[in-house]
Structure 1
């Protein structure tokens, strides 16, 4: 074993020792904060394609509800803003901002368990078109596809952030 490999090994072991010393435990592991959480949260049915993407991602992370103890309601508002504008005032890049207002309730008694608001953003390119100079890059189909992909990415980002928050705070709202 070379000294470089030995240093990497010792550094890795020191990192694990530090994690063990600070009380780190895997969130899904035995005794972890999310132990027994899979399948306990039922989301409201999606109303549109964005909602479907959001619910699908939450269920991928938390499992499909089998015996739900909690109900999750989420409302997402999106807003589009110009990010990159040409000297001719043509927008070539957009930012898609999303705000999610969510609440978690106990199904048994309808009491609020947790709630909050998340703000996230993503972006996409929108090439400029004109009859006299053609497209800078792409076509209308590529712009529409880029926007749809940005909306899908935004829902995944919001869902992942919500699930991370729920996992990190599970001991507080599972009582």
Structure 2
């Protein structure tokens, strides 16, 4: 069984190379030029602050920016579970980020993308606990959106 796996791997590597597979962070990879080259517009809300912080963590803080990024966030809260006394006990937070990458030299739009995801939190009888759970869920939502933006940029980095 072990030799089968090795044979499969040895046969799969040339197939990947033949189809144009190239690691984005490999030597000459398309993502090498992104690290430290994107400056994200200043955050204006707690959500956008969390998003920008995660983007800078993943893409590096801009040292010599080539690209500027504008991100438009929308979030929506929906009740999921309703108790017998008509109280909402669980909430879904839906988030969408529309982002535009522009060349700082020319101001031209280089890439535009949209990502969305969701997270949830539970409400409790204690308002402070519910508020803490909501804040944590919002922070997790911004982290997930930033990770999706980063992944999309890495996948499409050869296009700009």
Same fold (TM over 0.5): yes
Calculate the aligned-residue CA RMSD, in Å: 1.8
Find the partner of 2:36 among 36, 39, 42. 39
How much has 1:46 moved relative to structure 2?
1.2
Paired with 1:156 and 1:75, the residues of 2 have a C-alpha distance of: 15
| Larger Rg over CA atoms | 1
Aligned residues: 160
How much has 1:87 moved relative to structure 2?
2.7
TM-score normalized with structure 2 length: 0.89
Given the superposition, is the C-alpha separation of residues 9 and 73 from structure 1 closer, same or farther in structure 2, using an over 3 Å criterion?
Answer: same
Give the ranges of 4+ consecutive aligned residues of structure 1 lying more than 4 Å apart after TM superposition. none
Given the superposition, is the C-alpha separation of residues 86 and 115 from structure 1 closer, same or farther in structure 2, using an over 3 Å criterion?
Answer: same
Deviation digits for residues 132-173 of structure 1 (CA, Å, limit 9, x no counterpart)? xxxxxxx33332221111101111111111111111112222
TM-score normalized with structure 1 length: 0.82
- 1:57 aligns with 54
How much has 1:15 moved relative to structure 2?
4.2
Mind listing any 5+ residue stretches in structure 2 that lack a counterpart? Answer: none
Paired with 1:125 and 1:13, the residues of 2 have a C-alpha distance of: 48
Matches within 5 A, 1:111-122: 111-122=108-119
Given the superposition, is the C-alpha separation of residues 11 and 79 from structure 1 closer, same or farther in structure 2, using an over 3 Å criterion?
Answer: same
SS of the aligned residue for 2:50 comes to helix
- 2:101 aligns with 104
1:148 pairs with 2:135: yes
How much has 1:124 moved relative to structure 2?
1.0
